Amino acid sequence: MPQSVLGALTLSTAMRCAPRDDGCSLLLRVHASLRLHESLRGLEACALSMDTQETHCHGVRVPRASRRLHVGQEFQVHFDCFEVSAAQSIHVTLRTVPHFCGVQLEQQYHVEDCGDEDVGRNLPECLAGKLSYWVDRSRKVVLVQLPEAPGGTDYYVRLCLKWFTCEDVGEVVQVAANSVSRMVSLPYSQELPCLCLESWSATPDAVRTQTCPFEDDTEALWEAIRYHPASQALSWEPACPLSGLVSLCWCPGPGPHCHELQDSQRPAHGRVQYSLVDTQPQLCLQFSTSLGVRVRCPFRQPRFPAWKMTVCPAPSGTHLRVTFFSPGPARFQLCLCRGRKTWPRACHRALQATTHPAASADGTVDSAFVDVSRDEACGPNTCIQGWRADMHFSAPQQLCGVPC
């Protein structure tokens, strides 16, 4: 069978509207050109929905008399219409009957969506996207007003978190076509940029439309930081899909710059956890995502006990004593740095110090000290830095320009 028996394959969308304003539906028209061959008994067109993987086929028979009288002539073939829905992706295959290997035509077709003027104005499922809503932040509810639609169509509406699919965060509410009130109240617990209002009509394969009332409320994304005292782990989990990086950093001062800690960079698209994290106020989480750069410092609250570092003259007179005060047993490391506010670069002579019970009245503070030579520690460009050596991630304290 020559491949030339099948000519052009043309696909187009048609709209069928019932009388008395009962609404409209969409159809896919399939036209093909055929050059008759004596072995050809007909044609078959099959439409595969890429969304549901369902296949429907229509056939056209060529009478035996026509095959004998019109061999070699070209004819136009019009198939029965396929029922489709807005924004549906269809794969159409045209084959001969009987089917001959290699003799077929294929074409991908995308049905117009609700953004098309005719489709959006006449299809009931598209009218579901024309709802009105109001947000009552004091009561934490979204009030939805559904439109009147032709054909007596019921609607569904819900709140969902928009990831790869929209995940339920509440009940799906059905609004009947004959309902007196078409107002729906949907409660929510947290204002998130991916918390969306989804609506669709109660028709098969209806188009679902989403509106996200809180898409500018991004602050809640950075608040999901948790510290676990038993394991001394710090974790963060995004409530909405994000792309970017998370890292631990050290904020030496009130400015916006935060020094990234070594080996702390993690992808931001899932749960991030750091083990053995020092609860210093200067230790922060830095988020570098598509929404920009955000820095959050969870340990700046009084409930997190922090250690302190002081410098004073040692009894020997030739040294300075660096003392660490800690709420509990700990190991500290100290280094001297040339050049102000650099860590850990340009540091040398790392010295260890382990806490022991201090002579405090209540016995709640442990202390440790290291004596450092004045000749090494004194100078305008020398800084003393100390940090927890028994933690995987610790933000240093830094003393520069020590008076000697």
The CATH number that applies at residue 70 is: 2.60.40.2160
Q: With contact defined as beta carbons under 8 Å apart, do 273 and 234 qualify? A: yes
Q: Which long-range contacts (CB under 8 A, 24 or more apart) does 164-169 make?
A: 164/241, 166/196, 166/198, 166/208, 166/210, 169/195
Whether residues 128 and 113 fall in one domain: no
Residues 223 and 193 grouped into a single domain = no
On whether residue 153 sits in a domain, the answer given is yes
State the CB neighbour count (10 A cutoff) for residue 362.
Answer: 5
Residues 10 and 110 reside in one and the same domain: yes
Long-range pairs of 375-383 with CB within 8 A, sequence gap ≥ 24? 376/336, 376/349, 377/311, 377/320, 377/336, 377/402, 377/404, 378/320, 378/402, 378/404, 381/338, 381/339, 381/340, 382/336, 382/337, 382/338, 383/336, 383/337, 383/339, 383/340, 383/341, 383/342
**Among 3, 78, 5, which Cα is nearest to 37's?**
5
Strands 104-110 and 272-274: unpaired
Residues in the chain predicted with pLDDT less than 50, given as ranges, are 344-345, 359-361, 363
- 302 found inside a domain: no
- C-alpha 354: how far from its chain's center? 44
Instruction: Report pLDDT digits (tens) over 268-289.
Output: 888 999 999 999 999 999 999 8
What is residue 115's predicted lDDT score, i.e. its pLDDT? 79
Domain contains 301? no
Q: What are phi and psi of 68, to 5 degrees?
A: -75, -40
Q: Given 3-state DSSP classes, what are the helix, strand and coil percentages for the chain, each rounded to the nearest 5?
A: 10, 45, 45
SS3 345: coil
Return the pLDDT at 352. 67
Question: Looking at this protein, which amino acid is placed at residue 338?
Answer: R
Residues 334, 255, single domain; the answer is no
Instruction: Give the pLDDT score at 355.
Output: 57
Q: What are the beta bridge partners of residue 136?
A: 141
Do 193 and 243 lie in one domain? The reply is no
Q: Nearest-5° angle of CA 72, CA 75, CA 77?
A: 140
Domain assignment present for residue 157? The answer is yes
Q: 303 lies in a domain? A: no
Whether 85 and 141 map to the same domain: the answer is no
Same domain, 242 and 268: yes
Q: Report the pLDDT value the prediction gives residue 319, as an integer from 0 to 100.
A: 85
Q: What is the CATH number of the domain that holds 253?
A: 2.60.40
Domain count, the chain: 4
238, 145, 135: which is closest to 187 by C-alpha?
135
One-letter amino acid for residue 59 of the chain: G
CA distance 122 to 132: 18
> How many Å is the maximal CA-CA distance in the chain?
120
pTM given for the model: 0.63
40/64 same-domain check: yes
Same domain, 46 and 69: yes
Asked whether residue 392 is assigned to any structural domain, the reply reads: yes
Closest CA to 173 of 154, 189, 190: 154
Q: Domain of 335: which CATH number?
A: 2.60.40.10
CA 372, CA 320: separation in Å to the nearest integer?
A: 5
Whether 113 and 130 share a structural domain? no
- The residue assigned the tokens 């933690």 is 391
**Do the Cβ atoms of 67 and 75 come closer than 8 Å?**
no
Do residues 279 and 313 both lie within one domain? no
| Residue 233 in domain | yes
Helices (H), 285-334: none
What lies within 8 Å, CB to CB, of 164 at 6+ separation is: 241
Distance CA 66, CA 72 (A): 11
Residues 268, 242: contact at Cβ < 8 Å? yes
Task: Name which of 78, 18, 15, 91 is nearest 49 in CA terms.
Answer: 91
Q: Are residues 286 and 242 in the same domain?
A: yes
List the structure tokens of 262: 């070594």
* 346 φ/ψ angles, rounded to the nearest 5 degrees: 60, 20
Range of the domain at 148: 124-211
